Structure 1
């Protein structure tokens, strides 16, 4: 028989893992890191749905392309990554 856990699982934390930011701190970098982690999670979900046959390849590609454009726009709006010395 399975024992009940004394530490209930927070479903939100289980599904949407967040890792602490370890880079050079700035508010812009922190925001971009959060956006990048969300991008990564969503890419994983889309790929899994496509692999399992629940999402057509064309739709998966369209969604991934949209997510990539959003990430690029965010990077540009935050003004990060402009020079290699940054």
Structure 2
């Protein structure tokens, strides 16, 4: 029973959506990166809203993650087509 509770908690804390695009390895990797980015932005936004991070800190963290996401897109060779 404890194991199923762990799975349920993981699904709640780390939700993943299905991928509906063209199935290629680089697209799947980028989709995972994008979902992780989205999840972290939500956490940072919550921390800022609750006063645990300043707006400037939150902005800098999100900007850094955005640059990493753009870099991964470039390195994976994903185009805007």
- Superposition TM-score, scaled by structure 2 size: 0.88
Moved over 2 A (4+): 7-10
Long gaps (5+) in structure 1: 1-6
Alignment partners' CA distance in 2, 1:71 and 1:8: 32
Counterpart secondary structure, 1:80:
coil
Q: Whose helix fraction is larger, Structure 1's or Structure 2's?
A: 2
Match for residue 72 of structure 2 among 71, 74, 77:
74
Q: Pairwise CA RMSD of aligned residues?
A: 1.3
The CA deviation at 1:9 is 5.3
Long gaps (5+) in structure 2: none
Counterpart secondary structure, 1:8:
helix
Counterpart secondary structure, 2:72:
helix
2:62 is matched with which residue? Answer: 64
Residues 1:8 and 2:5 aligned together: yes
- Superposition TM-score, scaled by structure 1 size: 0.83
Residues 1:30 and 2:32 aligned together: no
